[in-house]
């Protein structure tokens, strides 16, 4: 098979219905994340909004990675982490293209969340986190919708891999 035929075959496989569906899932995750962040930034930036005894809306700006880990004032470290996040998104996109349908769905959820947070890192130099889960005085890390997608995708991925290998 010559090079042109291989290129056409790859192009045709990229435009499969399943890949378009996966792309729409990524867009949905990014859209839902952007929508919730824009609503919170516009309406709840001043005060904590009490929902019930277990959840509040409390906007904080996270300069670290997931759940505020590695937060720093160093722009060099922040930019290195941001570049690493960008590379991870590109690698996940590659794995999404070459994977089976079930794995594509898992990667799509992770990519959608990662793009949402990556966008904020580039535009705001921080990620707006606002979901504050708590019980009494004990608070979990404040997070956002993108973090939910990333965490859910990783849990499903690990569970899937564990069940495959069992």
| Strand pairing class (55-62; 49-50) | antiparallel
Residues 6 or more apart in contact with residue 33 via CB below 8 angstroms: 112, 113, 116, 117, 144, 145, 146, 149
Model-level pTM? 0.83
Greatest pairwise CA separation for the chain in angstroms: 67
Given a cut of 60, whether residue 1 has pLDDT beyond it is no
Place of tokens 């470290």: 77
Interval 73-110: pLDDT, tens: 667 888 888 899 999 999 999 999 888 899 999 999 99
Which active-site residues does the annotation give?
A: 129, 147
Position with higher pLDDT, 76 vs 116: 116
| Count of residues making up the chain | 166
């Amino acid at each position: 098979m010559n090079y042109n035929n291989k290129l056409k075959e790859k192009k045709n496989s990229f435009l499969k219905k399943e890949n378009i569906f996966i792309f729409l899932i990524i867009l949905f995750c990014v859209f839902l994340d952007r929508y919730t962040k824009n609503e919170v930034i516009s309406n709840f930036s001043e005060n904590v909004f009490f929902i019930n005894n277990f959840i509040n809306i409390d906007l904080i700006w996270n300069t670290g990675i997931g759940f505020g880990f590695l937060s720093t004032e160093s722009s060099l470290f922040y930019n290195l982490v941001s570049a690493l996040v960008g590379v991870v998104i590109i690698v996940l996109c590659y794995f999404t293209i070459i994977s089976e349908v079930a794995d594509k769905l898992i990667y799509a959820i992770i990519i959608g969340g990662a793009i949402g947070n990556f966008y904020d890192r580039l535009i705001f130099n921080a990620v707006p986190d606002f979901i504050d889960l708590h019980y009494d005085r004990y608070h979990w890390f404040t997070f956002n919708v993108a973090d939910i997608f990333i965490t859910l995708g990783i849990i499903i991925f690990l569970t899937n891999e564990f069940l495959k290998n069992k």
